[in-house]
């Protein structure tokens, strides 16, 4: 049995919940996608929309089919590829390998229109559990940009918050890596909380102090904004925060539009046995082209 998807207007399984802000559907959470293992199957948010209905995520794009909206994914988890696509092998380059795992929903803790809380298992190709995760996603309204009025309503912004606790087994540590830590040059330290955006042409990316992909990629500024225009539609702005200790921003604008809180940008990250890695990622989703001051204000106003 299927139900109409109020976000995309396409069939969705009854198991796909949606996040709402004041009665407006803003994101669909695809819980258990039926995808080939090479796509890195995992729960993901898509489509995500502004309050005015502008789409701001892409999924299964032709250039990188394994990019799935907004999700958590790492290319090297103790040798298992949980990102999808080819694996970067030192001194060899990108190679297709039978090393793809899956991040699977393991049970609900809470489910409501503005908050989704569940348990997940990060599994290797054999199905063995590499990491367990507790993840909560919330959606809430934010004040509109300066100059807007309450009557404008849908010209405002909303906040997505994703909290994640990754826990290693009691008997062994788990190491997270990336193409960069496996030898790829060019700042390709991706893997973590990743947002594949949708844009009509290369978007603009900036921080409080930097502009452009070359200067933003690899930095550790408190927040990063991406300003873009939806294909055939109006402009939107995303403002990201949430770097943890040792994390860096991975950003692409020329090749494709994407922003990532990268866990292993230059060096691998180890989760010691029986311990956890905590993350809190916040994204302001706003209609229109926000300037630097407004982006800073909105992400600063987020609780």
For position 156, what pLDDT does the model report? 85
For position 300, what pLDDT does the model report? 87
CB 65 within 8 A of CB 39: yes
- Bridge partners for 260 per DSSP: 194, 250
Given the candidates 1.10.3470, 3.40.50, 2.70.98, 2.60.40, the CATH classification of the domain at 2-301 is: 2.70.98
Render each residue's pLDDT in the chain as its tens digit; 303 residues: 233 333 333 334 447 899 999 999 999 999 999 999 999 999 999 999 999 999 999 999 999 999 999 999 999 999 999 999 999 999 999 999 999 999 999 999 999 999 999 999 999 999 999 999 999 999 999 975 554 433 333 358 999 999 999 999 999 999 999 999 999 999 999 999 999 999 999 999 999 999 999 999 999 999 999 999 999 889 999 999 999 999 999 999 999 999 999 999 999 999 999 999 999 999 999 999 999 999 999 998 666
Residue 293 dihedral angles phi and psi, to the nearest 5°: -65, -40
How many Cβ atoms sit within 10 Å of the Cβ of residue 281? 22
For position 295, what pLDDT does the model report? 96
pLDDT in tens, 177-222: 999 999 999 999 999 999 999 999 999 999 999 999 999 999 999 9
For position 150, what pLDDT does the model report? 36
For position 188, what pLDDT does the model report? 96
Is the link from the previous residue into 47 a cis peptide, with omega within 30 of 0?
A: yes
User: For the chain, first and last CA: distance in Å?
Assistant: 39
């Amino acid at each position: 049995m299927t139900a109409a998807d109020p976000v995309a207007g396409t069939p969705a399984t009854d198991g796909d919940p949606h996040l709402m802000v004041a009665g407006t559907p803003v994101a669909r959470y695809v819980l258990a996608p039926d995808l080939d293992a090479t796509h890195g199957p995992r729960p993901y948010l898509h489509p995500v929309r502004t309050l005015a209905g502008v789409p701001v995520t892409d999924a299964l794009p032709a250039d990188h089919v394994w990019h799935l909206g907004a999700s958590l994914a790492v290319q090297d988890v103790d040798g298992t590829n949980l990102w999808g696509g080819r694996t970067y092998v030192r001194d060899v380059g990108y190679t297709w390998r039978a090393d793809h795992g899956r991040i699977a929903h393991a049970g609900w803790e809470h489910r409501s229109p503005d908050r989704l809380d569940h348990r997940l298992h990060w599994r290797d190709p054999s199905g063995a559990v590499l990491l367990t995760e507790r993840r909560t996603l919330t959606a809430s309204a934010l004040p509109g940009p300066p100059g807007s009025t309450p009557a404008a309503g849908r010209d405002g912004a909303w906040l997505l918050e994703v909290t994640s606790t990754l826990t290693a087994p009691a008997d062994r540590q788990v190491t997270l890596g990336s193409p960069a830590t496996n030898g790829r040059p060019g700042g390709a330290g991706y893997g973590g909380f990743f947002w594949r955006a949708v844009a009509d042409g290369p978007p603009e990316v900036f921080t409080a102090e930097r502009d452009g992909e070359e200067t933003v990629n690899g930095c550790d500024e408190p927040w990063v904004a991406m300003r873009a225009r939806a294909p055939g539609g109006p402009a939107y702005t995303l403002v990201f925060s949430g770097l943890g200790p040792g994390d860096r921003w991975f950003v692409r604008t020329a090749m494709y539009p994407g922003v990532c809180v990268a866990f292993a940008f230059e060096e691998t990250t180890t989760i010691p046995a029986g311990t956890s890695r905590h993350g809190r990622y916040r994204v302001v989703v706003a209609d229109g082209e926000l300037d630097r001051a407004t982006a800073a204000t909105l992400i600063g106003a987020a609780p």
